[in-house]
Amino acid sequence: MTQTIPIRKLAFLGNHMPRKCGIATFMSDILAAVADSHPKTQCLAVSVNDIPGGYDYPDVVRCEIEEQNLSSYLQAADFLNNNNVEVVCLQHEFGIFGGVAGGHVLALLRELKMPVVTTLHTVLLNPSPDQRRLMDGVVGLSSRVIVMAARGQRMLQEIYNVPAEKIDLIPHGIPDGEFVDPESLKAQFGVDGRTVLLTFGLLSPNKGIEYVLNALPRIVAEFPDVVYIVLGATHPNELREHGEAYRLSLEILAKKNGVARNVIFHNHFVDLETLTEFIGAADLYITPYLNEAQITSGTLAYAFGSGKVVVSTPYWHAAELLHDGLGVLVPFADAGAMAREVVALLGDETRRQSMRETAWRVGRRMVWSNVARMYMDSFERSRVDKLPRTPQRSIVSKMLDRKPRELPALNLSHLGVMTDSTGMFQHASYSVPNFAEGYCVDDNARAFILSALLGELGGKTERVRTLASTTMAFLHHSWNPPLGRFRNFMGFDRCWLDDHGSEDSHGRALWAAGMAVGRSQFPGIQMVGAQLFAAGLPALRTFTSPRAMAFGLLGIHEFLRRPIGDAAAVQTRASLMDRLMDLFARSAQPDWDWFEDSLSYDNAKLAHALIQSGHASGTPGVVGCGLQALRWLTDIQTSERGHFRPIGSNGFHARGGTRAHFDQQPVEAHATVSACLEAWRVTKDVRWYEKAQSAFDWFLGWNDVGLELYCPQTGGCRDGLHADRVNENQGAESTLAFLMSLAEMRQSQNVLTSFNEPNAGD
């Protein structure tokens, strides 16, 4: 493929030598091959460290990532973005990246501004839910994906729904050497005149070496000069966890079988030149692996491409590469079959020579120089195709793993513009208050809750005290004693427009009153809040709105922070929890884990209320129900590419109906932030924190359109996300949703480092 402007800088992301693993070997080789074939393209590496201090890397490794440190992934993204890298080639394998199923790498990919071409070293037939989410995220954030076997290509299309035009099939590379006679290389290893069987690679129990050792007595009985070389150091992970126990067990087995003199264990991680000579000296190469689901084997590719006769178990890569007599396949864990086939091959020199020559010819397509050309074609296509990617912003980063990310500065300018001596205005025309729409209890209740959060963050500042006093005065004035309800709407002329508001607005007012009692730093406000809470609680018991119940439960929780022993509040909490649990039991189905037959607005508050109230009251079943509902909600509100996608308000989402994707509302993002943070506090499972972070980042541009809703210049938040733009108005609900989310995220950072290692599950 011809590109008008050649790629000037490439980065390879994964593991790099001298780390001892297959991915490190592969990435080192493909980087070197591309650099040799394209000298005008600068190639660099970003390598992941699995040990403190990392490795003594060559100069080509320009950036290092700590495997379990999420912030270092984001720093690596910044490095790549800031160094004019034009294409990133990710080497993906489960187990080399940190986070749940290796999910930390997604945080890096989401930040990159350039195309990503991902080599998938493993494609799972039956991934776990976490592995599936990870794979979907990696593929979705990649412009192109590379697999090394046709089976992997089919699996991506059939299982993961990846378009065929996005997939490149490129074989594993091999060194380009000569077709040599094994006898010419045996003397240097002390095996001249003997028949050499070889297995190489990092040693671990899944390699199945014991089955070759069990086959050796029969092989040696027919061919006494056979020597079996097991080449390779014990895998570092195996060594850390179990030491040399597996290698020792193999040595003991060889002695037990009476073939110790026919086996050589070469416990070294050899360089390429030495490896090539070992392969050249082999008469037969054996891969007795025990796991069928191996889509790629570098050792198999090296041996086959060097013109070796291969005897292998039928794992996916071997079954595909050795088809039509190009090698010999034997059943898994079958020493008898292994012995039978090896004996047959050693007794038929003509057949062996024919297989060697055929493997050599086929292998010429796999030499690194040819593979490098195919990789460069894929890189070029990634720039030409311009496949849609989630627009990224460098502001969305620097998070978690005990090094919390930097949050936006707290700007209360627009909050001040939207508030006068009466209360907070409902709406704005752009960033200008819209007087004609007046005020409402809903927004002033939210504003008071924000004041309590800000007070905890910054102390008794005059601005916070004024906001708290003004909004609590508005709530106090909204109380209508004859009806026992809060009014909701007030005109700019300060006249009430209703006798009482909705159940939901009453619930929010009660939530704010509970916050006044439980969290306010101002005694006078606490007392007014206590009066309103006591007056408004009875009506709550009669409500049928699930959201009103949820807001009421949140208010009761805050009220009970003060040790005042209010029996009515405790009883009401128990009643509301039971009612929400009953709604869930009657509505939930395997494909609809929810309280109602539709999803509308402020959805996460329902789950939030159960998690918080259940935890406070010591009822694990209630907590479990809340977590179950929240897990389902966050799953369906996560896009294919991993970002937060709230239910749209332009139609919402009825069970069995078509989901509205737009207009997306800030209030839903805040509800999710708040609920997920509560789930994180209760379970200490860091995945909930990550979900909260994802919902918060929706405000900052990590969304379907890639546009920022938060306006750092004014401190306001735009009113919604349409399919092609943002709603430029910066009303109270939206601005408060962002500021409350920001305040809660700041509070969460204050407790983040106090948690122990998170649990594996919910």
Q: What is the CATH number of the domain that holds 433?
A: 1.50.10.10
Query: What is the C-alpha to C-alpha distance for residues 200 and 22, in angstroms, rounded to an integer?
Result: 12
Query: What is the C-alpha to C-alpha distance for residues 426 and 227, in angstroms, rounded to an integer?
Result: 84
Judgement on whether residues 510 and 645 belong to the same structural domain of the protein: no
Q: Are strands 226-231 and 195-200 parallel, antiparallel or unpaired?
A: parallel
CATH code at 379?
3.40.50.2000
For the chain, residues with pLDDT lower than 50 are 1-3, 386-403, 753-762
Whether the Cβ atoms of residue 477 and residue 497 lie closer than 8 Å to each other: no
Q: Phi then psi for 73, rounded to 5 degrees? A: -65, -40
Number of domains in the chain: 4
Number of H helices, E strands in the chain: 27, 25
Residue 395 inside a domain? The answer is no
Query: What is the C-alpha to C-alpha distance for residues 58 and 383, in angstroms, rounded to an integer?
Result: 29
Residue 391 inside a domain? The answer is no
CA dihedral 297, 303, 309, 313 (to 10 degrees): -20
Judgement on whether residues 452 and 321 belong to the same structural domain of the protein: no
Instruction: Enumerate the H helices of 205-326 as residue ranges.
Output: 209-222, 236-242, 245-256, 272-281, 298-305, 316-321
Instruction: Look at residue 754 in the predicted model and tell me its pLDDT.
Output: 40
pTM assigned to the model? 0.53
Query: What is the C-alpha to C-alpha distance for residues 732 and 212, in angstroms, rounded to an integer?
Result: 72
Whether the Cβ atoms of residue 70 and residue 400 lie closer than 8 Å to each other: yes
Radius of gyration over alpha carbons of the chain, in Å? 32
Instruction: Look at residue 68 in the predicted model and tell me its pLDDT.
Output: 86
Q: Which two tokens stand for residue 724?
A: 């092609």
Instruction: Look at residue 399 in the predicted model and tell me its pLDDT.
Output: 37
Question: Which of 513, 543, 560 is where one domain is finished?
Answer: 560
Instruction: Look at residue 667 in the predicted model and tell me its pLDDT.
Output: 97
Judgement on whether residues 521 and 445 belong to the same structural domain of the protein: yes
Judgement on whether residues 152 and 256 belong to the same structural domain of the protein: no
Judgement on whether residues 335 and 378 belong to the same structural domain of the protein: no
Judgement on whether residues 19 and 148 belong to the same structural domain of the protein: yes
Give the SS3 label for residue 497: coil
Whether the Cβ atoms of residue 380 and residue 3 lie closer than 8 Å to each other: yes
Instruction: Look at residue 750 in the predicted model and tell me its pLDDT.
Output: 64
Instruction: Look at residue 123 in the predicted model and tell me its pLDDT.
Output: 93
Distances (CA, A) of 231 to 90, 201, 214, 535, 622: 28, 6, 18, 80, 56
Instruction: Look at residue 404 in the predicted model and tell me its pLDDT.
Output: 52
Q: What is the DSSP string of 140-193?
A: HT-SEEEESSHHHHHHHHHTS---GGGEEE-PPPB-------THHHHGGGT-TT
Q: Which domain holds residue 71?
A: 9-173+370-385
Judgement on whether residues 604 and 743 belong to the same structural domain of the protein: yes
CA dihedral 435, 436, 438, 442 (to 10 degrees): -110
Judgement on whether residues 68 and 133 belong to the same structural domain of the protein: yes
End-to-end, the C-alpha distance of the chain in Å comes to 49
Residue 544 inside a domain? The answer is yes
Judgement on whether residues 229 and 287 belong to the same structural domain of the protein: yes
Residue 393 inside a domain? The answer is no
CA dihedral 640, 645, 648, 653 (to 10 degrees): 60
Query: Could you tell me which residues are beta bridge partners of residue 439?
Result: 425, 490
- Please state the separation of Cα 10 from the chain's center in Å: 24
In 3D space, the residue among 658, 637, 652 whose CA is nearest the CA of residue 703 turns out to be: 637
Q: Which two tokens stand for residue 360?
A: 């050599």
Judgement on whether residues 123 and 261 belong to the same structural domain of the protein: no
Residue 572 inside a domain? The answer is no
Whether the bond between 18 and the residue before it is cis, its omega within 30 degrees of 0, is yes
DSSP E strand stretches across 492-545: none
Residue 178 inside a domain? The answer is no
Residue 474 inside a domain? The answer is yes
Q: Tens of pLDDT along 138-147?
A: 999 999 999 9
Judgement on whether residues 123 and 239 belong to the same structural domain of the protein: no
Query: What is the C-alpha to C-alpha distance for residues 81 and 74, in angstroms, rounded to an integer?
Result: 11
Distances (CA, A) of 727 to 450, 623, 673, 687: 23, 36, 21, 31
Judgement on whether residues 379 and 496 belong to the same structural domain of the protein: no
